[in-house]
Structures are given as structure tokens and as C-alpha cells.
Amino acid sequence: MSQKSVVLHLYRSLVRESKKFSSYNFREYSLRRVSVGFRENKNKNDTETKDLIQDALKNLEMVKRQAFINSMYSTNKLVVE
């Protein structure tokens, strides 16, 4: 896969996993953090991008774990939801 398609796949995966948080605050923070992080790094060169891809893969695994843990301890919905 080309580097652009890998980055796009990572972005979509992070957004998909971020939407799995049952808590509104965690979900919105995670979605905001993903979009800001990708926007900040969109003009990086190839060597920096490879390092950022590795970091994003680690973050994806972390978000998966955190969303699962968050779903185990779900609470009532907030008014803003």
C-alpha cells in the first residue's frame, strides 16, 4: 500500500474506534485529538511520516483498549448527548 493510503486507513480506523467510547467526553476528546493530530502533521516529509505512522499504530491500539474499558463502565447519557 502507498503511504497515503496507509495514512488514510489509519485516520479512518482511529475515528471508527474513537466513536466506540460510551462516554461523551472521552469520545469527543478522542475525535478532536485525532483530527487535530492529523491536521498538524499533514505536511511532513516521508521519513517523518514513517515515524508518525508507527506512533499512530500505537495510538490506535491504545484507543481500542481504552474504548473497551470505557464500555465496561458505562454511565447514563449526558444531556448534551
Q: CB 52: neighbour CB atoms within 10 A?
A: 17
Question: Global pTM?
Answer: 0.87
Report the C-alpha gap between 52 and 77 in whole angstroms. Answer: 34
Indicate if the alpha-carbon torsion angle 60, 25, 28, 34 is positive or negative.
negative
pLDDT of residue 12: 97
pLDDT tens track, the chain, 81 positions: 788 899 999 999 999 999 999 889 999 999 999 999 999 998 988 889 999 999 999 999 999 999 999 988 877 777 777
Residue type present at position 31: L
Domain ranges, ordered by start, for the chain: 3-70
In angstroms, rounded to a whole number, what is the distance separating the alpha carbons of residues 48 and 62?
21
The grid cell for 3 is 503511504
